[in-house]
Amino acid sequence: MTPKIFKLHLHKLQNCPFISTLRYYFGNRRSETLFNRFILSFTSLNSHLFQHNLVPDPSCDCGLTSETPEHYFLACPRYNQQRIKLIGHLSQIQDLVNLPFKQIRNCYNKLLTYIIDNPKTASPAAQHIQVYIEESKRFEVT
């Protein structure tokens, strides 16, 4: 992603009412940045890169399907250990007790909606998601 494309994307989002209120001050800067890219739907997952013609194929390295955020968080077998830990933590948060973890797209959308709509009370969920992102090592620069 070039700086020009990133700036254009941010410019389009400036009128979005929740952008200025979302603040998650924990973890390190890198994990916070990656987490917020998921909220903005502008990650370096193959599905997002494919949408911007930056990779020829949206497939995940696991070979099962496209590397979407839903697949990355809730289905990719490469991150089973991290996912078990994440779901265990999220299922103990009172507001997320009934989150439908088996319904991948529905679950991911409800989780993001909860975090966006409740930025102050959703920080434990956001923190666990950041830990998942860090521990998955999917976004490490090599």
pLDDT tens for 51-96 read: 999 999 999 999 999 999 999 998 999 999 999 999 899 888 888 8
DSSP state of 73: H
More confident residue, 22 or 124: 124
* Structure confidence at residue 67 (pLDDT): 96
pLDDT tens across 26-50, in order?
667 888 888 888 888 889 999 999 9
Buried b or exposed e, range 35-50, using 16+ CB within 10 angstroms: bbbbbeebbebbbbbb
